[in-house]
Amino acid sequence: MKRILSFSCLVMLLGIGLLASGTRAQAADAPIKPCWCCIDGKVVQMPAKDCKAKGGLCFTTKEEAVKNCEPPKLCWCCIDGKVVQLPSAECKEKGGKCFTTREEAVKYCESLCWCCIDGMVMQIPSADCKAKGGRCFTTKEEAVKNCGRPKLCWCCIDGKVVQIPATDCKAKGGHCFATKEEAAKNCQKP
3-state secondary structure 50-104: HHHHCCCEEECCHHHHHHHCCCCCEEEEEECCEEEEEEHHHHHHCCCEEECCHHH
pTM: 0.41
Q: Which residues contact 74 (CB under 8 A, 6 or more apart)?
A: 85, 86, 87, 88
Question: What is the per-residue pLDDT for 150?
Answer: 66
Amino acid code (one letter) for 17? G
What are the CB-based long-range contacts (under 8 Å, 24+) for 173-177?
A: 177/153
Question: What is the per-residue pLDDT for 22?
Answer: 41
3-state secondary structure 131-148: HCCCEEECCHHHHHHHCC
CB 28 within 8 A of CB 47: no
Assign 31 a pLDDT band (cuts: 50, 70, 90): low
* Boundaries of every domain in the chain: 32-71, 74-146, 152-186
pLDDT at residue 39 tops 50: yes
